[in-house]
Structure 1
Amino acid sequence: MTEAYGQRLGERFRVENAPAMVTRAFCKGEIAVTELRCDRPSSEMSDSIRLEDAFLLTLHFRDIPNREYWEGGRRAPLCDLRAGETCLQDLKRDPTVRLDKPHHSLVFYLPRAALDAIADDANAPRIRDLSYKPGAGVNDVAISRLGSLLLAHPEPSRSS
């Protein structure tokens, strides 16, 4: 069982309530979106998430100045994240972050098996690896709009 979405993910980030929407439409995996919000964070590091062949795509709804981020035990350069930016984390690289500022985000859990199934269904090439700058934010209008739509969606479809 994965630790990368829902309440299990919330525990890693010290968030009490972490509602998630999960789709099991793919026979090889599930895709999930978890909302993480904390108005009074501690200054602790997030806990590690069990290593797996999956990605987290985080859409931030609050600015996070001087964000401290690590992959594989190595600190990435400090960066200022802006509301609306997304960050990619590869769960094979043991991502962690210091939780010392208020935050609100949607975290998309994307296991490689599900991405492969989508590519196969579309007769498209499978993704080998994703290139990204660890800890850096990227402005992605499509993900930002998708996230806003998901937050506006009624509560009954959320599960954890």
Structure 2
Amino acid sequence: MASLGAAATPFARQLAHQYGLDDVPASRSPGLSLDMASMHHAQPHLFVLDPLPAEDAFVVSVELARAGSRRFFQGNAQTYLGLLEPGAVHISDLAERPSAYVCSPFHSVLFRLPRATMDDFARESGGLAIASLDCTPGVTDPVLAGIAAALLPALERPAEACRLFLDHIALALCAHLASTYGGARRRPATVAGLAPWQERRAKELLSGNLARQVSLAEVAAECALSRGHFSKAFKATTGHSPHAWLIERRIEAARQMLQASTASLSEIAIACGFADQSHLTRVFGARVGSSPAQWRRMRRH
């Protein structure tokens, strides 16, 4: 787990205070102002949660494991939920200062989503502002469960989380919430690829900043496109998401340095945009089939 400290998000500190925990693995998509956190408590315990501060935002909770009963309070309404299956979802409107009683082990991923973020997403997508997110408490949502599970490694190892990946997760979350619980409707349309100049500029920006965390919004702006449009157009053109394409370039750069230089693995990791040697080894091994050290030895014999 990531230790709470100066780097912890305000949302993570708020959750830690509410639950009396020392650690809450968390991360943030700066481009969409969306907070993400993982909550895991393995022992039965009664948590009486104070009302959260009022703000114009939603909290979306997704269960990753079977969980027992809990009671939610929002405005003048109470909601009692019995046994929750993996993938169960609950959405709270922070404007109504929600609170809860939780009395069983749980493993949840929570998203704090400002209403302004949903409005920005709707505007970029050509839709209307989302007035509310209407979700039957405890409904099972396999899509949200998949998004939450995919996010876990980035929450548990925040130093290795790629900003492009977090932005993609945030966009996918907004799109699903808007269409499923916000009343938005997807318009059938074919996605056109990038113009040659847009593809060239995007690749230049991504490959020229391997050691820096480039945001999806930054690359999209260089191509004069919205984040969602750029992401779809880039994949239509290259066959890969911007994040996947960037990882391949980082692996390619690492291979070149391993073969042509005497730099240490730690130096290569930092130069190619990985958090540290361990991160490089894990990603390199998964894609190449051998560790960087083994690959280097084989190329030198």
1:41 and 1:50, CA in 2 relative to 1: closer, same or farther beyond 3 A?
Answer: farther
TM-score, normalization by structure 1: 0.83
Structure 1 position 62, deviation (Å): 2.4
Bigger proportion of residues as strand: 1
Structure 1 position 77, deviation (Å): 3.2
Which residue does the alignment assign to 2:114?
A: 111
Which residue does the alignment assign to 2:96?
A: 93
User: How many angstroms apart in 1 are the aligned matches of 2:140 and 2:119?
Assistant: 25
1:66 and 1:53, CA in 2 relative to 1: closer, same or farther beyond 3 A?
Answer: same
Q: Which runs of 4+ in 1 moved over 3 A?
A: none
Bigger proportion of residues as helix: 2
User: How many angstroms apart in 2 are the aligned matches of 1:51 and 1:132?
Assistant: 20
1:47 and 1:157, CA in 2 relative to 1: closer, same or farther beyond 3 A?
Answer: farther
SS in structure 2 at match of 1:33: strand
Q: Which has the higher contact order (CA 8 A, sep 6+)?
A: 1
The reply to whether residue 42 of structure 1 matches residue 45 of structure 2 is: yes
Structure 1 position 120, deviation (Å): 1.3
1:4 and 1:52, CA in 2 relative to 1: closer, same or farther beyond 3 A?
Answer: farther
The reply to whether residue 81 of structure 1 matches residue 84 of structure 2 is: yes
Match of 1:5 among 11, 19, 24: 11
Which residue does the alignment assign to 2:289?
A: none
Structure 1 position 57, deviation (Å): 0.7
Which residue does the alignment assign to 2:153?
A: 152
Asked whether the equivalents of residues 68 and 105 of structure 2 are also in contact (C-alpha less than 8 Å), the reply is no
Asked whether the equivalents of residues 14 and 46 of structure 1 are also in contact (C-alpha less than 8 Å), the reply is no
User: How many angstroms apart in 1 are the aligned matches of 2:82 and 2:45?
Assistant: 19
Asked whether the equivalents of residues 45 and 98 of structure 1 are also in contact (C-alpha less than 8 Å), the reply is yes
1:4 and 1:81, CA in 2 relative to 1: closer, same or farther beyond 3 A?
Answer: farther
SS in structure 2 at match of 1:77: strand
What per-residue deviation string (whole Å, max 9, x for no partner) do you get for residues 98-119 of structure 1? Answer: 1221111100111001111111
User: How many angstroms apart in 2 are the aligned matches of 1:78 and 1:145?
Assistant: 22
Which residue does the alignment assign to 1:23?
A: 29
User: How many angstroms apart in 1 are the aligned matches of 2:152 and 2:78?
Assistant: 31
Amino acid at match of 1:6: A
Asked whether the equivalents of residues 43 and 104 of structure 2 are also in contact (C-alpha less than 8 Å), the reply is yes
User: How many angstroms apart in 1 are the aligned matches of 2:66 and 2:48?
Assistant: 18
SS in structure 2 at match of 1:81: coil
Cα RMSD of the aligned pairs, angstroms, is 2.1
User: What is the percentage of aligned positions where both structures have the same residue?
Assistant: 23
Amino acid at match of 2:115: R
Amino acid at match of 1:5: F
